[in-house]
Amino acid sequence: MAAPPPAGPLVVALGFDGAPIFELSLPAEVFGLPRPEFGADWYRFALASQDGQPIRTGHGWNLSVDGGLALFANADLVVIPGWRTADSTVPEPLRHALLAAHARGARFASICSGAFLLAELGLLDGRRATTHWMHAPLLARRYPRVTVASDILYADGGDVLTSAGSAAGIDLLLHIVRGDYGVARANALAKRLVLPAQREGDQRQFADALRPPRQTDRLAALMAEILAQPAQDWPVSRLAAEAGMSVRTLARAFASRAGCAPGTYVLRARIARARELLETTALPVERIAELSGFGSATSLQQNFRRQLGCSPTAYRRSFAPMAVAAAQA
């Protein structure tokens, strides 16, 4: 006997020319596949374009859709799988359809750069939101009424939710399932997808490490030396002396050049060295703590969790499985 068709909330994802295929596939995978083990109490799914015509994805593939803007009139959840960051302008018919859906009570969820569309609609004003860490500064500059959190995997604002870079969309969609249908069903779905139900850490783990400054002045030379020798003792008095500045001028110079205080820059340099060693060696955490300037494994663990949202061991498992295997051998 065939399983009954799903009769749960209607999820409508927005397709548009240039849409990223991976982000488009995420809501289809989570909400659009038959889940006979859940019975009829499961999501319905549709893909909409602005004119109901096929779209051409960012990979150059033509993709059929289920309909046009009218689909949003009945949507319970609208998913925005990316949007244009260079020009976030929203065509008026699309703007009207989306705002009408939100006013009617539909929830909205964005993946990666999809937050730009939500911000352009004004749906993120006064809210905490996130996007890919590479896009976060632009989102914050362009939409100052949005509180941009560049260090989290997703932000749940109740009726408007946002996620970080592409894969973080999976974390957000599983979070939505967890809220709609409970932990057990979300965990069952995660197992089907061969994914952790909840990832440890946040997107700070994926941001680029510090790089040597491009300038050639005395402050740049000092910053490069800190990056090269983070395990050295770097009190503020030494930093000021080597930069040829007063402590107050040094603080202003670091704030202008690096966006942080001198001591914070030293901490970030030590974190960067620890990340490098965790990714490329099988050295024990205690030794990595010494080489990166933390002195003890406890200090490294505390600072690593505070800065990256996970432990050194969890970071190594994620980014250096071969090193983990070597360390356990």
Per-residue confidence (pLDDT) for residue 49, from 0 to 100: 96
Please provide the average confidence, as pLDDT, over all residues in the chain: 89
CATH for 208-328?
1.10.10.60
Question: What ranges do the domains of the chain cover?
Answer: 10-205, 208-328
Across 44-48, 176-180, 252-256, 317-321, least confident range: 317-321
Per-residue confidence (pLDDT) for residue 292, from 0 to 100: 95
Query: What tokens appear for 232 in the block?
Result: 């050295």
Per-residue confidence (pLDDT) for residue 190, from 0 to 100: 86
- Using the CB atoms, write b or e for 25-58: b if 16+ within 10 Å: bbbbebbbeebeebeeebbbbbbbbbeeeebebb
Reduced to 3 states (helix: H, G, I; strand: E, B; else coil), residue 79 is strand
- Longest CA span, the chain: 81
**Alpha-carbon gap, residue 2 to 157, rounded angstroms:** 38
User: Is 129 or 315 the better-scoring residue by pLDDT?
Assistant: 129
Tokens 């099988």 label which residue?
282
Reduced to 3 states (helix: H, G, I; strand: E, B; else coil), residue 280 is helix
In tens, the pLDDT along 144-198 reads 999 998 878 889 999 999 999 888 899 899 999 999 999 888 888 888 887 766 6
| Domains 10-205 and 208-328 agree in fold | no
Local confidence band at 200 (pLDDT 50, 70, 90 cut-offs): low
Average pLDDT over residues 128-149: 93
Closest CA to 159 of 121, 188, 199: 121
Give me the phi and psi of 120, to 5 degrees please: -65, -30
Quote the DSSP letter at residue 74: G
Q: What is the dihedral of CA 28, 15, 112, 170, to 10 degrees?
A: 0
Instruction: Report CA-CA distances (Å) from 209 to 15, 96, 132, 267.
Output: 34, 42, 16, 12
Confirm or reject CATH 3.40.50.300 for domain 10-205, answering yes or no. Answer: no
In tens, the pLDDT along 62-101 reads 999 999 999 999 999 999 999 999 998 999 999 999 999 9
Query: What tokens appear for 287 in the block?
Result: 């030794």
**Alpha-carbon gap, residue 302 to 311, rounded angstroms:** 8
Question: Is pLDDT of 271 > 60?
Answer: yes
Question: Is pLDDT of 205 > 60?
Answer: no
Quote the DSSP letter at residue 67: B
Across 49-63, 85-99, 114-128, 196-210, least confident range: 196-210
Per-residue confidence (pLDDT) for residue 6, from 0 to 100: 84
Average pLDDT over residues 52-67: 94
Per-residue confidence (pLDDT) for residue 306, from 0 to 100: 84
